[in-house]
Amino acid sequence: MYKKEISKAVINRLPRYYRYLGDLLEKDVVRISSKELSERMKVTASQIRQDLNNFGGFGQQGYGYNVEYLHSEIGKILGLEKKYNIIIIGAGNLGQALANYVDFERRGFIVTALFDVDPTLIGTQVRGDIYIHPAEELEGYIKSNQVDIAAITVPKTQAPLIASDLVRWGIKAIWNFAPTDLNLGKEVTVENVHLADSLMKLSYRLSTKKNQMD
Amino acid sequence: MYKKEISKAVINRLPRYYRYLGDLLEKDVVRISSKELSERMKVTASQIRQDLNNFGGFGQQGYGYNVEYLHSEIGKILGLEKKYNIIIIGAGNLGQALANYVDFERRGFIVTALFDVDPTLIGTQVRGDIYIHPAEELEGYIKSNQVDIAAITVPKTQAPLIASDLVRWGIKAIWNFAPTDLNLGKEVTVENVHLADSLMKLSYRLSTKKNQMD
């Protein structure tokens, strides 16, 4: 579809563009200049033009961007015109929090089931027809249902083994919340959410700020 | 302390270095070459040397890096020799999940209290002496306790108002999980965790991969 290799930095910005444009749409904004978009996004106007040129532009000189069109085109680039089924491995607080995020569903990410080893959790209805299943049923579930993404919210020590099982059973995309990096080969796409990393960035900024004031 | 302005890209990598070196320490690894470190980190060896040169080096030609020393020095740069008290605004699943992450505490990030408006949650003991307090007590709590970081895990619509209250009451660092960017001025440091953004990066990669195969 897109011949050019898109840089990781551009791809990292696309969800933000999509989110901002979605906010504008909700406020019934019809068009936006690249200058206004750049002020909201804290990215230079020329950066925005460059980013969007990767995908063929979308802007019109003197008019700016049509919010609805740009939102929908970026959505297509991000693959959001499709639906993705998600299962969650680990039904503790974090797993259940993810299952309850209605925002994901609105964007086409549908949580279909959670899995856990804790017998006191199994059978619990998390929301609608989303239930916590026993971990032993995971392999069978993956093989008999369409599963696009598996979220891993188990402790660090268990994550690598579970991840390699998931891959063996056919999972191609992993959303990893365990505080360890998973090395699963090139056919599997992994997105790590390292919550402690973002805390460390806060402490870095707090302590350098303090040093500047000292 | 450090005169040079450190680039955001370097700061983004520091928590990863810290995490990897911590893993090595747990395995009693004493030293590591920049080549080995680079293979684990998936960053070039020269990138690692450059990154660490920002803070004065730490490596020795022909020896590599002393794992414990490098871990502790990066920890200092990240401000991890201090303790940070965290309060969590919003005691739903996500808020409670954050309060239960023992990994944070190990690094000096101590959750001291959660706050919520839901009367059925108030008074709940989340862990140890961490309780869910009524939202009305938030201002008083901040003014009479040392609070370094406030995590926001409330719905998107409520986040901006709560954030500006927090800042008015003296909070200098916000860890924001609400799917909206907060604009709070230069004195406040904000770290956003946009979970939907990482899902969109997964869907982007899944859909481009699929297109390549088509």
Q: What is the pLDDT of residue B40?
A: 80
Q: What is the rounded CA–CA span in Å between residue A84 and residue A178?
A: 21
Establish, for the pair of chains A and B, how many residue pairs have beta carbons separated by less than 8 Å.
178
Nearest residue in chain B measured CA to CA from A148: B206
CA–CA separation, A189 and A137 (whole Å): 23
CB-based contact B192:A15 (threshold 8 Å) = no
- What local confidence, expressed as pLDDT, does residue A115 receive? 98
pTM, 2 dp: 0.88
Asked if the C-beta of B10 comes within 8 angstroms of chain A's C-beta atoms, the answer is no
Q: What confidence tens digit (pLDDT) does each residue in A128-185 have? A: 999 999 999 999 999 999 999 999 999 989 999 999 999 999 999 999 999 888 888 8
More confident residue, A175 or B183: A175
Give me B65's structure tokens: 């890096």
What percent of chain B is predicted at pLDDT more than 90? 59
For residue A189, CA distances in Å to A81, B83, B206 come to 19, 35, 8
Q: For all residues of chain B together, what is the average pLDDT?
A: 89
Distance from CA of A143 to the nearest CA of B (A): 19
E strand intervals along chain A: 31-32, 65-66, 84-89, 109-116, 125-127, 130-134, 149-152, 173-176, 189-192
Residues of A in contact with B100 (CB under 8 A): 92-93
pLDDT at B128 exceeding the cut of 60: yes
DSSP string, A39-55: HHHTS-HHHHHHHHHTT
A39 Cβ contact list (under 8 Å, min separation 6): none
Q: What is the mean pLDDT of residues B159-182?
A: 94
Question: How far, in Å, CA of B52 to CA of B13, rounded?
Answer: 10
User: Residues 40-79, chain A: which have Cβ within 8 Å of B?
Assistant: 77-79
A155 interface with B at CB cutoff 8 Å: no
B67-115 residue pLDDT tens: 999 899 999 999 999 999 999 999 999 999 999 987 899 889 999 999 9
Residues of B in contact with A152 (CB under 8 A): none
Which of A148, A199, A208 is the closest to B175 by Cβ?
A: A199
Position A213 confidence tier, pLDDT thresholds 50, 70, 90: very low
Cβ pair B104:A196 closer than 8 A: yes
At residue A11 the predicted structure's pLDDT band, cuts being 50, 70 and 90, is: confident
- Beta carbons of B16 and A197 less than 8 Å apart: yes
Burial annotation A11-44 (CB, 10 A radius, 16+ → b, else e): bebbbbbbbbbbbbeeeeeeebebeebbebbebe
Mark B79-112 as b/e (b = at least 16 C-beta within 10 Å): bbeeebbbbbbbbbbbbbbbbbbeebbebbbebb
ipTM of the complex: 0.89
Q: What interhelical angle do B195-213 and A8-26 show, nearest 10?
A: 120
Q: Which residue has the higher pLDDT, B4 or A8?
A: A8
Does pLDDT of A211 surpass 60? no
- Strand (E) or helix (H) holding B77: helix B67-77
Neighbours of B144 (CB within 10 A): 9
| Residue labelled with tokens 């680990």 | A90
Q: Do A194 and B156 touch (CB under 8 A)?
A: no
A196 in contact with chain B, both atoms CB, cutoff 8 A: yes
Chain B CA closest to residue A156: B103
- What pLDDT, in 10s, does the model give residues A27-86? 999 998 888 888 888 788 888 888 888 776 666 667 788 899 989 999 999 999 999 999
Q: Kindly state the tokens that stand for A101.
A: 């995020």
Cβ separation of A148 and B206 shorter than 8 Å? yes
pLDDT tens by residue, B22-67: 989 989 999 988 888 888 887 888 888 888 887 766 666 677 788 9
B86 touches B111 (CB < 8 A): yes
At residue B214, the pLDDT reads: 42
Torsion of CA B136, B137, B140, B146, to 10 degrees: -130
pLDDT at B1 over 60: no
Q: In 3D, which of B99, B162, B157 has the Cα closest to residue B136?
A: B162
